[in-house]
Amino acid sequence: MSSTPIAARHKGFNRAEIVDQNFTEFVQLWQGEVRACPRDNEPVLPGSALDAHGFRQLLESQLISRHLDLMARVLRVQNKVFYTIGSSGHEGNAMVARLTRHTDPAFLHYRSGGFMAERFRKLPGMDPVMDSALSFAASQEDPASGGRHKVWGSKPLWVLPQTSTIASHLPKALGTAVAIEQARRIGHALPIPADSIAICSFGDASSNHATAQTAFNAAAWTAYQKLPAPVLFVCEDNGIGISVKTPSGWVANNFQHRRDLDYFFADGLDLASGYEQVQRAVDHCRGTRRPTFLHLKTTRIMGHAGTDFEIEWRSIEELVAVEASDPLLRSAAIALESGLYSKDELLALNDATRKRCFAAAEDADRRPRLQTLDEVMAPLAPYTPDKVQAEAERADYQDKRVAVFGGEDKLPEKQPPRHLAIQINQALHELMAKYPESLLFGEDVAQKGGVYTVTKGLQKTFKGNRVFNTLLDETVILGLAQGYANMGMLPIPEIQYLAYFHNACDQIRGEAASLQFFSNNQYRNPLLMRVASLGYQRGFGGHFHNDNSIAALRDIPGLVVGCPSRGDDAATMLRTMMALAKVDGRVCACLEPIALYMTKDLYAAGDGQWQFAYPAPGEAMPLGEGRIYDADADDLVIFTFGNGVPMALRSARSIEQELGWKVRVVDLRWLAPLNDAFIAAQAKSAKRILVLDEGRKSAGVGEGIITAVVEAGFGSTPLERVVGADTYTPLAGAAFLVLPGDAEVVAAAKKLGARE
């Protein structure tokens, strides 16, 4: 008799139906020898590390995963479920779930149905079928995402939700592993046991992604320095990425000889033999606290997703061979050979699981779905202004401030007015004293104190466990930040230049800022990212060090973006940003204008008018609040931010002298979300409006300002925009040809006057 089930040989059939029939036919036609049925604590087969009780549960988890996939294929065409990327062929990942704990944070890729079904066993009263069905159906009652996406996630089970991720979750998984160990060093109480490990699963195709490679490199870099990083990288190798095949042997040859990334192989197609192999990897990771790479052999049954009609691009012979490698067929053979199940019992279990999954899906379809925009957006950007303001103004740590600054008389509010860089430095000292769970890290921030000495002295004050250098990799920096945040800390990562943020943008866009949304506000990763930003540096330029493009930041849903132009504003803004992170779990970005770091003067050399007194404890800047210069002036209102503020003030003096106009300058300070109501209120009394945006003409802040003005009904007010050119910034003096300057502002005002 052929080893290939009869149904698999037919070309014209729906492949999901064939896979389903294969299981039934395999059981019915099985003719192997039946052994004496083992007791629960005995090996399921001679020599196996998996006992009979464990096998029964793993088999049930595999069947649950499979029938959820089959259910999705059937009910998707009825518009009852909305996701068909399945786990078929990957059900062996249930072994990883069984051999780890529910308190081991897990970052899973989309073929993790077996893992989730098995992890649900870790806590009583949980239902893997109904919870999963609610997610497939995009039900508002989905306990993972509240109906926002089909995700594998669970708050009580420590599965942080991912959405169709292609390796972008690996850096934060590594960051979480590092954070587990870092907590002990800074005396932070973890929300999970101290010997936990972080689990991260991904496919063989994803292992080639740059984001994956940076995580592997950083993990090895960490281990090379004898620093613990207990992350279990689980590469589920099914040999194909959508339609692109992975060369045979590539994963093994690429990873098994990497120094400081410890390699293990396990057969995920065979529970009896694979179990011990998985156990060795898990025990090694937990015991050694070293990054561990588990190469789990899997296959992909039923294509990439329901829309992937493999028969159109793969031969029938190849499809039949893949379907014959189905891990459920091997599990069925183990079940029958061991004597744990008769044929009838196994088929009954299969049928009961099918009915359970379909019944749950039909039930989920009757549950409410998200109906309004407010419901959809509710967890995206939580904001409790009263609590945030109270936290930002909280000043019950005065003794710590005194100790940090070296005495009562050395407190920053008792010093003469200072420039931006010094006051950011003082604010960071203050905030790290206020929040013992905070950490500051990035490239060159420790001994050197940053390229511009903004973090000078912080490592000396707070020691290397809280202020430290990272390797030169922005993706890793932001991955670490998310890991620390996952473990309840308050990270303050520094990105050395704004242009470097673009190397790692997706760590904020796709990962950090999306977590609250896709977990229905159950998980949060509060962080405050500081970025040396914008143009106008003299003697040190080029487009990497004078980047004025912030469109990528303003486009990220839920991200708070602030840009202070003076030191006192920086201090009060940073206080509020830390409070937003602490209270509401927000992800914040503070854009620090490099050209203003050391600026002391405003109108003339030596006037000292761009130095300000440090704000006393208890002062904070509410989110969205701008600063107004000469509030009663209405001949011309200039909207601006960052470097544009002192530029506008200088230009205002010239405009008043040349045109006789009274000029109001409005510093927005907060760039995302833009405070449309504040902009409208300032535009209401303006006779003329000038928008000064140091960013690029396309997709800059200026477009948002003008939109707010027009939508408020003030589109008829004469308006001009002064903005940077749509180009990269060149070196040396040529840089100032592409950036707005004082002369352009004055010329724009005259242009407005000439219209009258």
- Please give the full DSSP string across 64-82, using - where no structure is assigned: HHHHHHHHHHHHHTTTS--
Q: List pLDDT tens digits, range 391-412.
A: 999 999 999 999 999 999 999 9
What integer pLDDT is reported at residue 606 of this predicted model? Answer: 96
What integer pLDDT is reported at residue 630 of this predicted model? Answer: 97
Query: What distance in Å separates the CA atoms of residue 525 and residue 173, rounded to the nearest whole number?
Result: 13
Query: What distance in Å separates the CA atoms of residue 310 and residue 312, rounded to the nearest whole number?
Result: 5
Q: Is there a contact between 296 and 236 (Cβ–Cβ < 8 Å)?
A: yes
Query: HSE on the CB side for 493, CA within 13 Å?
Result: 34
What integer pLDDT is reported at residue 538 of this predicted model? Answer: 78
Q: Which residues pair with 587 in a beta bridge?
A: 527
Reference 181, options 226, 122, 234; nearest CA is 226
What integer pLDDT is reported at residue 539 of this predicted model? Answer: 65
Peptide bond preceding 412 in cis form (omega within 30 of 0): no
Q: Which residue carries 């339609």 as its tokens? A: 243
Tokens of 432: 């790290």
Query: What angle is formed at CA 260 by the lines to CA 259 and CA 261, rounded to 5 degrees?
Result: 95
Residue 198 three-state SS: strand
Query: What distance in Å separates the CA atoms of residue 753 and residue 756, rounded to the nearest whole number?
Result: 6
Sign of CA pseudo-dihedral 414, 417, 418, 419:
positive
What integer pLDDT is reported at residue 60 of this predicted model? Answer: 98
Query: What distance in Å separates the CA atoms of residue 326 and residue 335, rounded to the nearest whole number?
Result: 15
Low-confidence residues of the chain, pLDDT below 50? 1-2, 12
Residue 724 three-state SS: strand
Q: Which residues pair with 457 in a beta bridge?
A: none
Query: What distance in Å separates the CA atoms of residue 534 and residue 292, rounded to the nearest whole number?
Result: 40
In terms of Cβ atoms closer than 10 Å to its own Cβ (0-12, 13-18, 19+), residue 161 is: buried
Q: Which distant-in-sequence residues (6+ apart) come within 8 Å of 139 by Cβ?
A: 147, 364, 365, 367, 368, 369
Residue 129 CB neighbours (<10 A): 22
Q: Which residue carries 């010093």 as its tokens? A: 415
- Residue-by-residue DSSP string for 101-141: -TTS-EE--S--HHHHHHHGGGSTT--HHHHHHHHHTTBTT
Residue 544 three-state SS: coil
Residue 303, phi-psi category: left (phi > 0), alpha (psi -120 to 50), beta (remainder):
left
Helix axes 128-136, 343-365, angle to 10 degrees: 50
Residue 195 three-state SS: coil
Residue 600 CB neighbours (<10 A): 16
What integer pLDDT is reported at residue 12 of this predicted model? Answer: 46
Q: How far is CA 329 from the centre of its chain?
A: 37
φ and ψ of 100, to 5 deg: -115, 180
What integer pLDDT is reported at residue 242 of this predicted model? Answer: 84
Tokens of 490: 């308050």
**Residues 58-75 as b or e (16 or more Cβ within 10 Å = b):** bbbbbbbbbbbbbbbbbb
Reference 602, options 634, 575, 629; nearest CA is 629
Tokens of 82: 């909305």
Query: What distance in Å separates the CA atoms of residue 185 and residue 289, rounded to the nearest whole number?
Result: 15
Cβ contacts of 737-741, under 8 Å, gap ≥ 24: 739/535, 739/536, 739/546, 739/548, 739/694, 740/644, 740/647, 740/692, 740/693, 740/694, 741/647
What integer pLDDT is reported at residue 13 of this predicted model? Answer: 56
What integer pLDDT is reported at residue 752 of this predicted model? Answer: 94
Query: What distance in Å separates the CA atoms of residue 198 and residue 21, rounded to the nearest whole number?
Result: 37
Q: Which residue carries 């308050």 as its tokens? A: 490
Reference 668, options 591, 613, 616, 595; nearest CA is 591
Residue 700 three-state SS: coil
For strand 467-469 and strand 438-442, is the pairing parallel, antiparallel, or unpaired?
Answer: parallel
Q: Which residue carries 């002295």 as its tokens? A: 457
pTM: 0.94
What integer pLDDT is reported at residue 733 of this predicted model? Answer: 82
Residue 548, phi-psi category: left (phi > 0), alpha (psi -120 to 50), beta (remainder):
alpha
